[in-house]
Amino acid sequence: MGRVRHTPYDPGRPPVLVETIAYALIGLAVGAGALVLLPEYFPAARTLTVSTAVVSALLAGLIARFTLNEQAPGVSLALSAVCSVLLVSVLARPDLVDRTGGRHPGRHRPA
């Protein structure tokens, strides 16, 4: 009586595959943006940074999609981007950036 039947396809809602591709593209954009805008902050392998961004965007987006009961695709896309940025920022190493522009007295550069 009070049960709601869900149809497998709702014409007003994008399918899971379309949103999954959108989450992956968000992750690629976050990972590539981090490497292009701040390359000195990510001394690890580029594949690690990009794959972290993609996987975190996929997981966060799909969890947000199912948690929000598939009602707010814009919110799940935004949460996907925010979580991807936060987890990629964990990989950043600002302590390794040379801010002086010159030589450090304790460091020896290879010739």
**Residue pLDDT, tens place only, 56-102:** 999 999 999 999 988 888 999 999 999 999 999 999 988 878 776 55
For residues 1-13, average pLDDT: 61
Query: Please, what is the end-to-end C-alpha distance for the chain in angstroms?
Result: 80
Q: How far is CA 72 from the centre of its chain?
A: 19
Q: Is the pLDDT of residue 12 over 90?
A: no
The mean pLDDT of the chain is 84
Closest CA to 56 of 84, 29, 82, 14: 84
Asked whether the beta carbons of 85 and 30 are under 8 A apart, the reply is yes
